[in-house]
Structures are given as structure tokens and as C-alpha cells.
Amino acid sequence: MATRTLCIKTFGCQMNVYDSARMADVLAPLGYGLTDDPSDADMVILNTCHIREKASEKVFSELGRLRRMREDREARGAGRMILGVAGCVAQAEGDHILDRAPFVDLVLGPQAYHRLPEMVARLSRAGDAQIDTEFPAEPKFDHLPAPGARGPAAFLAIQEGCDRFCTFCVVPYTRGAEYSRPVTDILDEARALVARGTLEITLLGQNVNAYHGAGPDGATWSLGRLIRALADIDGLARLRYTTSHPRDVDDDLIAAHAEVPTLMPFLHLPLQSGADRVLKAMNRGHTLADFRRVVARLRDARPDLALSSDFIVGFPGETDREFQDTLDAVDDIGFIQAYSFKYSARPGTPAAALPAQVPEPVKAERLARLQDLLNAQQVAFNRRCEGLDMDVLLDRIGKHPGQLVGRSPFMQPVHVMAPAPLQGTIQRVRIDQGQPNSLAGRLLPAEDDHPPAERATA
């Protein structure tokens, strides 16, 4: 039973969401139960993101707020609040965090969270701040307990780190070299999740399709093979994976999209730029034509496949013409959703030292234009979904009484009026309305008396 409260605030990517859940698993045996309210928590951990400067800076403003909360709580006589900084800012900044925020108790990198109990014990004995930003020889995954209940849709990390070294990116430095978990560990974790009610699993990795884990047969398994094995788990209705690199989409993975019906027809595949010179300067290792070829093959395998992507505008040296190439590529390929960012120089990455940094107003103007186009594509896709019937995983309670919210096969949020016991189930839904960021629909009767699924395509 929980005797203490733990609040974990998560910034950044889905891997951090997964890591936060794992930190909670690790701390549960010490009596820590989760709360959303930091003001009265015995321990608050910020799980941080270093990917862009803005994300990184948030940590310090948040720490300032937490410091005041801690003082208030201690003044009320409610006891000590342990303050921890985890994740990629902790990894990148290490003990420098204590220069700017000397009141922090724990600093731990993404490879250290299995050592949290030990750090907490040492903190209570010694009283001084504990820092752990080592990349241990043994992977952290070997030391984690079975996952707790995660709900209908859960993340499962299968791979961590990255060896690609895109010139703008901090990930190879904060998350380290690429590591793939053994197949058996992944299958065990997936079965444990399904046994606790999970219907949909998203396989996670910084470069997830570079997965090459040790199989039980002694062979090295690819992501495609792993997906086939996971698809055999009874009760696992849906599979996804993210984030992929276009260079690492192999034949086996493409075939899995054709053969595995539980693999959802939605793929996040970052393009970053539509200009070959920029792609080269980014060290992406592919051209726009290579990207198009991969997309064409994926769409041949799974004609209803819809794509999302990541883009960076204002990479050093990006010209107006090169930015136009990105707009043209987006226009032509079609994405149902995408993330786009202004280039942010990250200390220690090769691109940060390039001479021709693009001025801020130019970046801002390019970002606005790209986002207009991406938003228009998203709205158009959502509109095209009107009148279709879709399987929707109802995973959360809606804002309005009697409403549940779910996710479509294409990851759109879907609002439906539905009785509460249907939360955590997959239901057939007729889409009545496509809105800019979501869909609205109504439940169809359980008896399948309507024609088979029509599918929306991007």
C-alpha cells in the first residue's frame, strides 16, 4: 500500500512517458504511490527533455516553482519533499544542474532510473545531493520490475539510443549508443501488459526500426519479425511502433505491414527536409527520392497507410528554395499529421557550429507557412473520414458527461457518447464529423450488420 506520494512531471517524447511509468514501478516497493499534485508530494521528479533549447529551459523555471512549493509544504509541517531531475537534461547537464538549482536532491540520467531506490536511500542517510549519469555496462532493462497496469493503450520500449548522429540531434549523446532489448524480455513485458488490460501496444525506440534484438533461437531478430511474434499474443488487438528512420525501413518490416492486420495503418516517419542538400548536411543518409520510394513501397503493402512526420525549418544554410522543396514534398506526399520545429542549435552537435545560422524571423515565417500547409492536410484528412466506420479504442473519459474519447486506427482522437463500462474496449464507430484536431462519431450496434470497414487514405 502507498504510504508516500510521488509526482512525476514528464516533458518531451513518448520514451519519457514510458520511463516515467517505469520510475513509478521502481519506486512502488518503497511505498510511493502516484499523485498528480506536486504541492503535497513526498517526491517530485521532473523527467526532462533536451531536444530543443525551449524544452530544456522549461526545467529551470519549473524547478523554481517547485522550490516554492517545497518551502510552503515544509512550512506547513507536512514533511520533506525530495526533488529529482531525471531524463535527458539531467544526462546532458549532470552536476551543472546543481549550479543553477542547488536545492535539487537527485540528478539521474535515463540509464539510471533502476538505481533510484538506492539513490533515495543514500540521500536519506547522507543528506547531500545524489547524481547518477553513468551509462552502465548492464542495461537498465535487466533491473526493472514487471510493469504495473498501464491502461488500454501502453508504451513498450524495445530499443534505446541511436547511432545515426543526425547533425542537429542530441539523442546519441543523451541516450547513448543503440541498444536493442532481447526478444524474450519484450514478449514477457507485452504479455504482462495484456494480462493487465492493455489492448494496444506502441513499441518505442529512438530509432525503433533499427531494432536488432537477440531472439530465443539465437538469431538476431528484426522489427518485422518481432512484430509478427507480438501479433500472436492473444488479446493484443493493436500494434504500433515509433519513431522510425526512413533508412531503416527494410523489406521484412514492409511485408509485416501487408501481413499483420493488428499492425495499425499509421506510421510516423520523419522526413525533416525536402531538400537533398539539407538532408545531406543533416546526415540523414537518404535523399527525398529514397524517402518517396520507401513510402510508395509501404503504401503498396498497406494501401490505407497514413503518414505523420517531423520537419525542421531553418537548418543552417537552408535557402528559400530549399524551404520551398520541403513545402513541395509535403504537398506531394501528404501527411495526415506532423510535428514541425524551428531549428534549435544544441550545444555539442555538429550543426550548432555551422556558420550560416538562419535568422529567427526567417525561421518563424517558414514555420508558420509549413504549419499552415500541414494543418490544411490534417483537416482535409479528418473531413475525408466523415461517413466512415472505424474501430475506436475508447481509452479515456471525455470532458462532457456520458462521453468517452478514443483513438482511431490513424491515431485521431474520437469523441463518442458511450456508457462508462465501454472504456477500455474497441468499438465500431460511425464518424459524423471531422474537426481540425479530432473526430466525432456515434457507436454502432455491436451486431455487425453493416458492410466491412471502409478505409480512409491520406
DSSP 271: -
Nearest approach in angstroms of CB 35 to ligand SF4 is 32
Of ligand SF4, ligand 5AD, none, which one does residue 383 interact with (CB within 5 to 8 Å by kind)?
Answer: none
Binding piece for ligand SF4, criterion CB under 6 A, among 69-77, 106-114, 169-177, 222-230: 169-177
Measure the CA dihedral 27/32/33/35, to 10°. -100
On the CB side of 434, CA atoms within 13 Å amount to 20
C-beta closer to ligand 5AD: residue 32 or 315: 315
Distance of CA 182 to the CA centre of its chain: 21
Q: Is 172 in the site for ligand SF4 (CB under 6 A)?
A: yes
User: Per-residue contact track with ligand 5AD, 17 to 56, x per CB under 6 A?
Assistant: ----------------------------------xx----
- Across 300-336, where does the E strand assignment appear? 306-313
**440 close to 386: Cβ distance less than 8 angstroms:** no
Task: Sketch the per residue contact string, 237 through 276, with ligand 5AD: x for CB under 6 A, - otherwise.
Answer: ---------------------------------x-x----
- 271 CB-side CA count, 13 A: 33
Asked if residue 131 binds ligand SF4 (CB under 6 A), the reply is no
The minimum distance between CB 124 and ligand SF4, in angstroms, equals 36
Give the binding range for ligand 5AD (CB under 6 A) out of 296-304, 340-348, 368-376, 421-429.
340-348
The answer, yes or no, to whether the previous bond of 243 is cis (omega within 30 of 0) is yes
Which residue, 109 or 172, is less far from ligand 5AD as judged by CB?
172
- Tell the smallest beta-carbon distance from residue 288 to ligand 5AD (Å): 16
Least Å distance between CB 432 and ligand SF4? 38
407 and 388 in contact (C-beta within 8 Å)? no
User: If binding is defined by CB under 6 A, does position 249 make contact with ligand SF4?
Assistant: no
Task: Tell whether the torsion through CA atoms of 423, 428, 432 and 434 is positive or negative.
Answer: positive
Q: How far apart are CA 260 and CA 92, in angstroms?
A: 39
Q: Is 165 an interacting residue with respect to ligand SF4 (CB under 6 A)?
A: yes
Among ligand SF4, ligand 5AD, none, what binds residue 344 when CB lies within 5 to 8 Å by partner kind?
ligand 5AD
Q: In what order do the strands lie in the sheet with 106-108?
A: 32-34, 4-10, 43-48, 82-87, 106-108, 130-132
With binding defined as CB under 6 A, does residue 168 bind ligand 5AD? Answer: yes
The angle formed by the CA atoms of residues 170, 172 and 177, to the nearest 5 degrees, is 165
Choice from 185, 259, 290, 310 touching ligand 5AD (CB under 6 A): 310
Position 162 contacts ligand SF4 (CB under 6 A) = yes
Residues 182-241 that bind ligand 5AD (CB under 6 A): none
What three-state secondary structure class fits 450?
coil
Q: What are phi and psi of 215, to 5 degrees?
A: -90, 165
Instruction: Quote the least distance from Cβ 252 to ligand SF4, whole Å.
Output: 20
Determine, following the binding rule CB under 6 A, whether residue 348 of this chain makes contact with ligand SF4.
no
Distance between CA atoms of residues 5 and 451, nearest Å: 50
Which one among 7, 15, 120, 169 touches ligand SF4, defined by CB under 6 A? 169
Asked whether position 326 contacts ligand SF4 by CB under 6 A, the answer is: no
Q: By CB under 6 A, name the one of 169, 183, 374, 393 that touches ligand 5AD.
A: 169
Choose, by CB under 6 A, the member of 35, 91, 206, 412 that binds ligand SF4: 206
Nearer to ligand 5AD, 13 or 119 (CB): 13
For the chain, the first-to-last Cα distance in angstroms comes to: 48
Whether residue 106 contacts residue 123, with contact meaning beta carbons closer than 8 Å, is answered with: yes
Give the CB-side neighbour count of residue 125, counting CA atoms within 13 A. 7
* Least gap, CB of 102 to ligand 5AD (angstroms): 28
Minimum distance of ligand SF4 from residue 206's CB (angstroms): 4
- Judged by CB under 6 A, how many residues of this single chain contact ligand SF4? 10
Nearest residue (CB) to ligand SF4, 47 versus 244: 244
Q: Are 186 and 208 in contact (CB under 8 A)?
A: no
User: Per residue in 314-333, is it b (16+ CB within 10 Å) or e — as a string?
Assistant: bbbebeeebbebbbebbeeb
Give contact residues for ligand 5AD (rule: CB under 6 A): 51-52, 168-169, 270, 272, 310, 312, 341, 343-344, 346
Site residues, ligand SF4 (CB under 6 A): 162, 164-166, 169, 171-172, 206-207, 245
